[in-house]
Each structure stands twice: as C-alpha cells, then as structure tokens.
Structure 1
C-alpha cells in the first residue's frame, strides 16, 4: 500500500479520510467466490430438476449474479480510488437491489447468503458499528420474511437451521472483517512508523552534516589561532630584528649582526614549532613543559627591551597539554603585543598552579590601549577563545599610558576512573 494511500487509524479500525468513506478491499476474493458459488448452486438446482425449470427465471437469476460480479470488479477499483461516502452508499444500495432480485428468482434458497456481504461491505466502508448494525438488520429481515411467507416457521427444523446458519455466517463475516481491518490498521501504523523513521534519518543526516561543518569550522579556527600565536609571534620577532639590522647597518655593525643572529634564531624556533605541531597532529600526544617554555620565552634577549621577569608558583603536574599550551600562547601573545605595540620597558609574567585552576598574569608598563573600544585584535580574540573552550576566563585591563594587565584562568581537568 502506498504511503499516500494509507488511511488514518481510529479506534482500531481503518476508515477513509474526512473527504470520503471509500475503502480498499483487503479480502477481494470473498464476494466474488460467494457470487460464483451461489450461481453454480442455483443453476445446478434448476438443471437437476429440483427447481421450477423456467429458463427465463434462471436467466434473470444468472444475469443478476453476473451483474454483481461485474459491479464487484469495477466497483472495487473505484473503492480503491477513495470515492466519496455518497458513492459508497449508492454502490451498497445497488448491491442490495441485485441481492433482492437474485433471491427472488432463486429457487434453491442459496442466494440468502449474499446478504452476508451487506455487513461485510459496510464494515470496511463505514466501520464496525455500521457493519454490526446492518448484520442485525439482515437477520431481522430474514426473520420477517420467514414470518410473512411461512407461518409457524419457528416450529420447522429447516427454517430454524437456515436461521442459525445465517446467524453463524454473520458472526464469521464480521469476525473476518474485524481481522482484515485490524491487519490493515497494523500495516498503516507500520507505514507511518517507517515514514517517521525515514524523516528521523533524514534529520539525523542533516544534523550530522551540520556537526561536520561546525567541526571543520572549529578546526580552522584552532589552526588560525595556532598560526597567529606561534608563527605570528616568531615572524614579528624576525621582522623587528631585520628592521633593527637595517637601521644599524651603517651606524653599529655589531648591533646589526646581533639583530640578524636574533632573526635567524627566531626563524629556527618557528621551524621547530611547525615541526612539533605536525608531530603532535600525527601522534596526538606531545610532551610540553610550560615552565621550560616560559623560561625560554622570558630569557630571549631583544637588545635589552623589554626586560622580562618570570615567577612560577606551584607544580604544573596534573595539568593537560591543552591547558598548558593555552597559558603559553597567552603569555607569548602578551609579550609580542608589549614588544611590538606597547613599546614596554618591563614585562612581568606570573603563573600560579593551584589545586583546581592555573592562573596567568602578564603585566607590562607600555603605552596601553582602551579595551572598552571593542576593537580586540586577533591575538586578544584568540586568547579569549582558548580560555572559553577550556572552561576558563580571560580578562584584560588597560588604558592609554597606563600599561596592560592580562589575566587568564584555566581550570584543571579532573580525570575520572571507571
């Protein structure tokens, strides 16, 4: 059954939608089998001589059943197309008329079984209540017919037997309709569930694509921060030293040579950090000592300016490489800003390793700037993002001519066991 044709499920029964009361026959062979059986039995009854032997009567009888067969085939396709309730009711009325015609011209009495199709058809078209009601009505019509045509019928075994067989047939057809409708309702629910699963799968696929895009964007942002904080720092040093060498080339050859040597050393450091970053990306592990890295950063001699002091309190053991790297990048960026933009004479780097968090404070006496202007450069933005991604905090205090104080706090991750 196509999803677009699935009928809504209400109270355990599959009914047509609000636009019509058509239905799709779940057991199309029942009515056709009954028509053929009644036709064969009635014709045999007349041919065998048990009937009245009137050819015209037999022809009307047979013609009525053939008409029912044709109506069954053509009407079934129309029912599948979901005809309105009025059409379904009209089709049922036509069947009832043909049933009455066939019964009137049937000498065998077998055509009474055709009326079993009335509750059977109504059950599918209009629901359980209509099917049961029409079934009881058919039983009442049979009793009325017996009363009008055979006085005292209730004392005759053949009539009682016919009545009991008809009642049993009603029970069977209503039960069959109930089972068929329940099975179709189950299929409808299954199809609905499958459609919901397909929609869920589509949404999950879309969400997975969004997560992949976000992961890619985050990785690009991380690489941009690393390039800025690592290569950017060393390239800044190289640029300053080359400018110094160019300025002192004619005035002080020794100073120019020292500047070139510092530029070469910065270039080597940049290459070392690039190789280390590649190794870390491949191996996913990299031993990193913040104390050693800060000591080397503070000990770098840039012609005596700025003077860098370093103070370490506590042990960095127990802190992960990501936390230590974030603190180092922040100190590196602060020193680069103090040297390149702040024109600072003194820079103080202080790191305190606590039980739950590590705190970095970098102070310089440079020209400062106005953080309230809201024009954070990429370096400040990178420090802020690194701290936020690790659940930490970032704070910068500065002013024109008052120097700058940057504070970065990174929480210590607690390893869970189990």
Structure 2
C-alpha cells in the first residue's frame, strides 16, 4: 500500500516539505535533525554490510544456479532497507515521499523466469543498493561532526545540522524516491502483453474445440444422415424411413445453427456491436437465474475493445451469480468517471467469493490488469458481494480515427 505523509505533517509544510529556517534555538525540528544525523552511522553501516555481502556473494555464485535468484532476493531485501530509510526521512526530516509500487511477483500471469528477470532489473532495488553503498563515508562524517558539535560547537549546531540534513534530503529524494515508476510500469505492461497474446491463443483453442466437438460434429452427422437417405431413395425403399431420416437431419441442422449462434455470441455478440452495452448487458441479465437490475449511464460508447472487455466481465460475473451465489437478486451498474469506465456487479447471496476461489475471478482480474484496469472483490462470508471493475476509457470515434489508414 502506498504510504503518504500524515495530514498534520502536510499542514506544517503547506507548500513543500522544507523545514522552517534554522535558528539558534533548539526547537523540535533541530532535535529531529540531530537524531537523524546520529542515526546515520549505524544505518549506513547496516546498509553497507548488507549491500557488499549480497553483491559479492551473488557475483561469486553466478557460476551456479543459485547466483541470480540470490541476487534477486538481495535486491528485494534492499527494497526493504529503502523503505526503512524513507520512513526515517519522513519522521525525522519531514520529507514528503510516496512508496514505490511493489513488484507484482505474486501474480500468476508471470512465469518464474519472468518474475526473476523483473526482480533483477528492478530500478528501485538497484538505486537502493547504490544509496547504501555510498552512504557509509557520509554516515561516519555526519555522525562524527554532530557528536563533536554537541560538546564543542553547541551554538552553531542548529545551522550545521540543517546543512547536513539538507544533503540527506537531497540523497533520499534522488535515490529513494519512486522517480522512475513510469519505466517500471512500461516494463510491466510489456510483460502483460504476453498475457494478452496467451489469452487470445487460449480463446482461439476454445473456439476450435467448440467447433470440432459441437457444430462440426453435428454437421458431419447431418451429411452422413442425408447420404443414407439419398441411398435409400435410390434403392426405392419406403418413404416413411426416408422421411424419418430427413426429419432427424432437420433437427441436427437446427441444433448446429443454435450452437453456431451461441459460439458467435461468445466471440462478440451482435447486440453489443449494434446497440451497445445497455442492450447487451440487459440481454445477459435476462439469462441470469436471479432477477438483475441493469443501470448503464453512458453518454457515449467506449472503444470496441474496452466495450468488449466490459461485456464479458459482466457476463462472467453474472454466470458466477447464477452458479455459486444463492442470491435472490443482483444488480449491474456501469458509468464513466473522468477517463475511467466503472462497472459494479452486486448480489445478496452467501458471499465468500475470492480471487483464488476457482470461479473465474482471477482470470478476470488478470484480463483487466493487462489493459491497465482494476478488479476489486468485496465478498464477506454471509454476503453481500460487490465486485468493482475499472477500465481505461477511450472514445470509440477517436479509436476509429487512429486505426483509419492515411494517405
């Protein structure tokens, strides 16, 4: 969770996080700065020993299979040291700084080697290593000057402490702030692109399987049945036998057509293309086993890709309501807030839904995460359940203009 400076500290430094000017008086700001400088040496020593141990041990073991995993673990540990230093800078120096985003190493959308590579190239971990490596001389210097000044240079210590801690503030902001989160996010989205490709391939395999086991098998049976009927006609056999075979073939045709319609609806329903989310979600809701109230408040239609993801998200959630919730009623709300499309599906069922509950929730979360969306499940035991999905908004017309060839 991202940590932010408490509101009282924000009020104290209204415009920025610079402390008030140094004075001869030993006020609370000065004592906090002195405490920070005296703690510099032990903290710098811990960080330096940790960094040197991790780097040298990992470098020595890179010839074996455990070298790179050990280095990745060391960088993750460096992240924790950086978190401790940021907390110290907030508490004692008043530095306003958010926490970097955590590495998504627990997500199932990344394989083991992808997670290892993500940890190895983590910029936050490497900048923390650099910070800990160069801090030891500075920690010794600031600790010694502060300790001596407490007994020798007492009158000027507030000014000395302010100058030294300003250098500390600059180092913390320069090396420990989440300044390159954009680059890390780009790398994560590049990894997510592979997830999208895998999902598309899985969907194609599902369509192929459904065609092979469903409509294709029925059409093969239909062809065989019509061939037998033709042979019986040519052999002059009884019309009632041929009529029965034709009737059976007619039934197979109707079933095959229904399966093809269902398959086409699963790929992209015509009602969504023609009439938008309101009509498409109302159609999905009508097939739910419990009454569903649908509210769609959109002045325009989102891009086709976003609209499709929204549709299939609601469709999957309502299937879960039908199969697992034991609810008496459900609701679907869709609206736009700034540049985000929000979806909320709720029911008054038994609750207990989880991302790892085996009801497709994790797949939905991964699909939304791959397009920079969010997926939140609130489902205590005993209910009710509320699932909120958030997608980036892109205008349909702008998307079409971007895709239209030029020249």
Same fold (TM > 0.5): no
After TM superposition, the score normalised by the length of structure 2 is 0.34
Greater relative contact order (Cα < 8 A, sep 6+)? 2
Larger Rg: 1
